[in-house]
Amino acid sequence: MTATHDVIVVGAGIAGASAAAEIAAHRRVVVLEAEERPGVHSTGRSAALWILNYGPADVRALSAASRPFLEGPPQGFAAHALVAPRAVLFVAPEGQEAALAAMMAEGQGLEELSPAAARALVPVLRADYARAAAIERDGLDLDVAAIHQGYLRLLRTRGGEVRLDARAGRVARTGGLWQVDLGGGEVLAAPVLVNAAGAWGDELAEAAGVAPIGLRPLRRTACIVDGPAIDGFPGWPLMGDAAHSWYCRPEARTKLLVSPADETPSAPCDAQPEEIDVALGIDRMQVALDIPVRRVEHRWAGLRTFTPDGSLAIGWDAKAEGFFWLAGQGGYGIQTAPAAARLAASLVLGRDPDREPGLSGIARRTDPARFHSQSSGRRAAGWGSAH
Ligand SMILES: Cc1cc2nc3c(=O)[nH]c(=O)nc-3n(C[C@H](O)[C@H](O)[C@H](O)COP(=O)(O)OP(=O)(O)OC[C@H]3O[C@@H](n4cnc5c(N)ncnc54)[C@H](O)[C@@H]3O)c2cc1C
Q: Compare 365 and 233 and report the one with higher pLDDT.
A: 365
For residue 374, the model assigns a pLDDT of 57
Query: Percent of the chain having pLDDT more than 90?
Result: 91
Question: Is 217 touching ligand 1 by the criterion CB < 6 Å?
Answer: no
Question: Is 20 touching ligand 1 by the criterion CB < 6 Å?
Answer: no
- Return the DSSP state at 125: B
Q: Which protein residue has the closest C-alpha to ligand 1 atom 2?
A: 46
Give ∠ CA 65-348-321 in degrees, rounded to 5.
135
| C-alpha dist (Å) from residue 253 to 48, 68, 143, 168, 174 | 18, 29, 18, 43, 57
Using one digit for the tens of pLDDT, what is the confidence trace for 166-186? 999 999 999 999 999 998 889
Distance 368 CA to ligand 1 centre (A): 19
Question: Could you tell me which residues are beta bridge partners of residue 239?
Answer: 89, 248
Question: Is 135 touching ligand 1 by the criterion CB < 6 Å?
Answer: no
Q: Which protein residue has the closest C-alpha to ligand 1 atom 33?
A: 11
Question: Is 5 touching ligand 1 by the criterion CB < 6 Å?
Answer: no
Using the predicted structure, report yes or no on whether residue 76 has a pLDDT greater than 50: yes
Q: Is 52 helix (H, G, I), strand (E, B) or coil?
A: coil
Using the predicted structure, report yes or no on whether residue 376 has a pLDDT greater than 80: no
Using the predicted structure, report yes or no on whether residue 134 has a pLDDT greater than 90: yes
For residue 385, the model assigns a pLDDT of 33
| C-alpha dist (Å) from residue 376 to 172, 338, 348, 369, 379 | 20, 30, 19, 9, 8
88-137+218-302 shares the fold of 7-49+144-215+309-371: no
Q: Is 85 exposed, middle or buried (0-12, 13-18, 19+ CB in 10 A)?
A: exposed
pLDDT-derived band at 387 (thresholds 50, 70, 90) equals very low
| C-alpha dist (Å) from residue 371 to 216, 307, 354 | 13, 9, 22
Tell me how far apart the alpha carbons of residues 249 and 122 are, in angstroms, rounded to a whole number. Answer: 12
Q: What is the mean pLDDT of residues 342-370?
A: 97
Work out which ligand 1 atom sits closest to the CA atom of 40.
49
Question: Is 371 touching ligand 1 by the criterion CB < 6 Å?
Answer: no
For residue 384, the model assigns a pLDDT of 40
Distance 378 CA to ligand 1 centre (A): 27
| C-alpha dist (Å) from residue 34 to 29, 46, 166, 197, 298 | 17, 20, 5, 9, 26
Tell me the whole-structure pTM to 2 decimals.
0.96
> Nearest Cα to 324, choosing from 14, 2, 11, 64?
11
For residue 230, the model assigns a pLDDT of 81
Using one digit for the tens of pLDDT, what is the confidence trace for 94-108? 999 999 999 999 999
Q: How many CA atoms lie within 13 A of 177 on its CB side?
A: 19
Q: What is the mean pLDDT of residues 348-373?
A: 95
Distance 139 CA to ligand 1 centre (A): 21
Work out which ligand 1 atom sits closest to the CA atom of 14.
25
Lowest mean pLDDT among 42-51, 78-87, 220-229: 220-229
Q: What is the fold of 88-137+218-302? A: D-Amino Acid Oxidase; Chain A, domain 2 (3.30.9)
Q: What is the mean pLDDT of residues 279-305?
A: 97
Tell me how far apart the alpha carbons of residues 166 and 153 are, in angstroms, rounded to a whole number. Answer: 19
For residue 252, the model assigns a pLDDT of 81
The CATH number of domain 7-49+144-215+309-371 is 3.40.50.300: no
Q: Which of 334, 335, 336, 366 to mutate to test ligand 1, by most ligand atoms within 8 A of the CB atom?
A: 334
Question: Is 125 touching ligand 1 by the criterion CB < 6 Å?
Answer: no
Q: What is the mean pLDDT of residues 26-47?
A: 98
Distance 385 CA to ligand 1 centre (A): 35
Question: Is 48 touching ligand 1 by the criterion CB < 6 Å?
Answer: yes
Can you give 148-166 as a three-state secondary structure string? HHHHHHHHHHCCCEEECCC
For residue 224, the model assigns a pLDDT of 97
Each domain of the chain, given as residue ranges in start order, spans 7-49+144-215+309-371, 88-137+218-302
Q: Which protein residue has the closest C-alpha to ligand 1 atom 27?
A: 198
Q: Compare 232 and 64 and report the one with higher pLDDT.
A: 64
3-state helix vs strand vs coil in the chain, percent to 5: 30, 25, 45
Backbone φ and ψ of 170, nearest 5°: -105, 110
pLDDT-derived band at 210 (thresholds 50, 70, 90) equals very high
Work out which ligand 1 atom sits closest to the CA atom of 48.
8
Question: Is 334 touching ligand 1 by the criterion CB < 6 Å?
Answer: yes
Q: At what angle do helices 337-348 and 57-71 cross, to 10 degrees?
A: 100
> Nearest Cα to 364, choosing from 302, 315, 319?
315
Q: What is the pLDDT of the chain when averaged over all its residues?
A: 94
| C-alpha dist (Å) from residue 3 to 139, 173, 179, 207, 384 | 44, 12, 9, 20, 10
Q: Which of 8, 41, 60 to mutate to test ligand 1, by most ligand atoms within 8 A of the CB atom?
A: 41
